[in-house]
Every structure is written in C-alpha cells, then in structure tokens.
Chain A
Amino acid sequence: MPVTLADVDYVADLAHLRFSDDERARLVEQLNDILRYVEQLNELDTTHVEPTSHVLNLKNVFRDDTIESSLPHEVALANAPATSRGHFRVPKVL
C-alpha cells in the first residue's frame, strides 16, 4: 500500500511538522522507497519464526530499587528557555 500525500500530511500533523509542497512530494517518494526496501523482508517465509522484539539476546536486565542522587535543581533547570518559581515555563497547553 503506497504512501500518499494524505498520509504524509497526517503524519506531519501528528508530529507537529510543516512542509512545503516540494517537501511533501519528496517525502511521499522517500517514504515509499523506505517501505519498498523493508518490503524485501516479506520474501522470507517466517511462518514458524517467533516475532522478534529485540535483537539482543538478553533476559531480564533489572535494576534494584535503590535511589541515586538526582541533578542539582539549578543544573536541571539551567538549559530551560524560561523558568518560573522552580518550574519549567512552557507555552500554553491544552
């Protein structure tokens, strides 16, 4: 199922991205290229293969429930464009 302009617009909207008409057209092409490339995997018969959700053959790497120190408050806020009373100040939400 090839990617259409509508798909690009929909995904761009979800990602809060804006594109020019040229870019939109190019993205349709590029996304279709990517999908075609991945499509090659379908040539293999995987009927009897467990779906892989991770390439690493690791099992249960856990962390014990212990606390380590967090960032100092000032450092945590240092890169924020705006702060107010110890908070990150952000554009209007909702």
Chain B
Amino acid sequence: MTTPPYEPVIGLEIHAQLRTKSKLFCACSTEAASVRDVPPNTHICPICTGHPGVLPRPLNRRAVVLAVRLANACHCTVHPVSDFDRKNYFYADLPKGYQITQNHRPLATDGWVEIEVNGTSKRVRLHRVHLEEDPGKSKREGGVWLVDMNRCGVPLVEVVTAPDLSSAAEAAAFTRELRRIGRYLDVCDGNMEMGNLRCDANVSIRPAGTDQFGTKTEIKNLNSFRFLEEAIAWEIERQQDELRAGRAVEQITILWDEHAGVGRLMREKESAADYRYFREPNLINVHVDAQVEADALAHLPELPLARQRRYVEEYDLSQSDAAQLAEERPLADYFETTVAAFRGSPKRVAHWVRNQVMNILNDEDNEFNDVNTLPMTPAYLAELLNLVESKTLSETLAPQVFQKVLETGLSPQAAVQREGLALTGEDETLQIVERVLRSDPDSVQQCRSGNEKALNRLIGQAMRLSKGRADAKRVRQLLQEQVNVQP
C-alpha cells in the first residue's frame, strides 16, 4: 500500500517584548528582561508580585503606541476600542493567578505579513495582534524550584497567524520577517536568546490537496530560529509516522527539548487548560484615539522587504546583497545615505558597506559596533569613493584611507592630504615608470617578447615605488608604451 503524501498546516503564536522602559501596569523597569545578568527579583513591586489588594496602575501608553504601530505595519484592522481580560491559571511564576491579556476584544485583527522563501513570496494572514503582560520565570536549580519575577508585567505583543504556513522553513521565514519588521519599527528587540521573542507553533498534517484540517498539536518553547525549524520538522515527521502506522494524531502539547532535539509530552488533551477568561474589572477600555494613532504612525519607515526589493530593482544589487543590507534599519539607512551622496554606482557602495564597513562593525576587537557613531559617516564614505571615482586617490590606497579616517576622525580628503596619499599626477607617474624601466632591463627585455609576467612584475615595482599612490591602469598603459620605445 502506498502512503499518501501529506502537507503540513502550521500556525504560529509569537510573543514579542515591546521596547518600553517600564512595565505594562506599573513603573518598574523592564531592564531585567532585555539585559543579561540582572540579579533576580530586583525590579519588582507589589503589583508585579500580585500582593493581595493591589490594583494595576494605568496602562503604559508607549506599549499601546508600539503595538498599534506593529499592527499597522502588518496590515491589521486596529480597533478603536479594545479591552483587557484575565486569563486564569495556576503556575508558580504567575503570582496573581491570572495573566492580564486581551481575549474578547483584541487591539487589532485580520492582517497579513508577506514573506519570501526561496524566491517565492507568500502572504501569511494574521488573526490578531494584542497586548498582554509577561509572567515571571521559574527554573529548577540543584533540585529546588526558583522563581524570578523581574519579568512579571513586562509588556508583550502577541501575534497569532492563520494556519497559512506549509513548512518548517516558512514558519522560520515568517518569524524572521516579523522580527525584522519589529526591529525596523523600534517596536521590539526580538532577541530570541534573551526570551524577547518567543514562538509557539500549532502543527497538523493532512493529505496533500485536501482542505480539512488534521488534529493539531502545539509545540512550546521554541526560542531560536534553529530550534523552531528543527522542532516543527520533527513534529511533521512524527505525525506522518503516526498516520502511516495507522494511528491517530492525538491533540497534545509538546515541549521542545533543544538539547536532545526531540519533543516531550507536556500536556494531554484530557487536561487541556480552561482559562475562564473574563473582563479585567480593574482596567478601563483602551481607546486608540487620534493622538495614539498619530504617535504610532509617525516616522513609519519603508518596510524591510520593500527596501530589499527596491535595492534589487533600483540599485541592481544581487538578492543576497540586498537582503543583507536591508536586514537592519540603521545599516540600510547608512547604505542609502551613502548612495545618495556618491556619484558612482550603488553597487560600489554596496560592496564597501558589505565588506569594509560590516567587517569593522563585526570585529569584536575594536570599539566600533554602532553604525550610527562610526567615524566613517555615510558622507565620508561617499567622499572617499568620490575621491577614487575622480582619480584623486588610487583604488589600492582607498582601504588605507578608510582606516585613517576611523583612527583619526579626519575627513577622507584631509586624511589623503595629511598622509600624502593623493594619486600621482601624469608627470610623476611617468618618472616612476622610467625609473622602473631603467632599473630592470631584464624584465623590459622579456616584456618586449610579450611576457605578461614580466609586465606584471614591472607594474608591481612601479606601484611599490609610488607607495600605492599611482593608478595601476595608467602605469600599465605607460609601461606598455615605454618598453617598445626605450632602447
């Protein structure tokens, strides 16, 4: 008997920590949720820890603005009025016994995000985007269970997709794209390692081409792009094995064990959670009024995928160059500002940014890790490339001038002058060529009989004599002319 091919159906629930200074319903710092090694339970108050009788403080306005911004960028309908509900469950890291979230009337619904996988684009529909507070963190250490409540009350935005994803790769691509959009909009850091971006996946399979859903399972704790992809692929495989063996897929919750690379059963259907959602009576409605909307939409940048495509179409960059340059907004802005000030081809700027600039930024051994404070500003990089373009500086010495600018903060023009690196004039080039010809008659002889190596040797000598300042192309021309003229 042949087994039918199956197609996976995947939906994601993504939690992203909003980039606010303080928590959602109190004024404690969110620092501990985004910075490493903050001592436990140092950013908490009676509201975070759910002391009896405490009430939430008024809603953090910034969190609303950021969530509305993300919802807009994801083409959602942002509702003028939404409200908060309590999601009730018992867990050691949830001191109030309920999480404040938006269930019945979420902030925004029905959007979409476009992703690209292997050159094919796809619209992934979103069911909802809503606000909620983060619980704390519990962990087992040396046989005892410990709770750190620094994270309690940190503002999160939850994004729930429709079951529109058909592979582990698409699920990873969607998560990456959402992260990239969030970072572009200043909405979130999206640091999965720190738990600032977390993902749960709902996975089911069905015979390819059919439109009924199979039984879905939920995988939790997908805290890196790699684990996300591995876990979903593993679960698709597992469900296929079950069906092919004539068994049914059970509706279970799976906890991904990243060390073993396998899923572990966390909860069976029988004990499926009943959260008894009800309206949070201590909070009033959220009205997305004109002022909130204006703040959310102010300076809304061109989104990363649009930028990436424009780099290919307008600047003629390769897909991989375009993707890399559009990945982070500060670098993309740097690149585009340079392109605007450079008289030559954007491809040359792309080459320099992807190499020299990114190498400097990625090098752990120097102090330059922020493109916004790099002494080699976009204006300076354009100036440097213009010097080469206008034959004031040789291609060979351009990287050296780049270094000088970084070290001294001088403009490229000033660095070239101070270091005496300007391209040699015609007279000086000719003098150098003549000196080389006189000093190496053997190579000259070989050149005359068409020996390319000998010519390259002579060019090398001339470039050395000029300390790299000569234009190698012009040196070659002059040498070729002169070998046949000189006695």
Contact = CB atoms under 8 A, between A and B. Distances in A.
Interface of A: 14, 16, 53-54, 56, 58-68, 70-71, 73, 76-77, 84-93
B357 to A, nearest CB: 33
Contacts of B21: 65-67
Contacts, number: 118
5 contacts: A53-B105, A54-B283, A59-B284, A66-B27, A87-B41
A89 B44 contact: no
User: Of B41, B90, B281, which is in contact with the most chain A CB atoms at under 10 Å from its CB?
Assistant: B41
A62 B145 CA distance: 36
Given A76-B41, A88-B41, A93-B91, A53 B62 contact: no
A58 B284 contact: yes
A14 B87 CA distance: 12
A68 B146 CA distance: 26
Given A14-B274, A14-B276, A93-B91, A53 B285 contact: yes
Contact of A76 (B20, B44, B90): B44
B104 to A, nearest CB: 9
A62 B41 contact: no
A70 B62 CA distance: 20
B29 interface: yes
Given A87-B41, A87-B147, 6 more contacts: A59-B284, A63-B60, A65-B63, A71-B46, A76-B45, A84-B146
B138 interface: yes
B274 A60 contact: no
Nearest to A56: B284
B45 A71 contact: yes
For the complex, would chain A's binding face be called helix, strand, loop or mixed by DSSP majority?
Answer: loop
Nearest to B138: A93
B61 A63 contact: yes
Contacts of B147: 87-90
A87 B289 contact: no
Given A53-B83, A53-B285, A73-B39, A89 B146 contact: yes
Interface in B29-45: 29, 39-45
Contacts of A88: 41, 92, 146-149
A77 B28 CA distance: 16
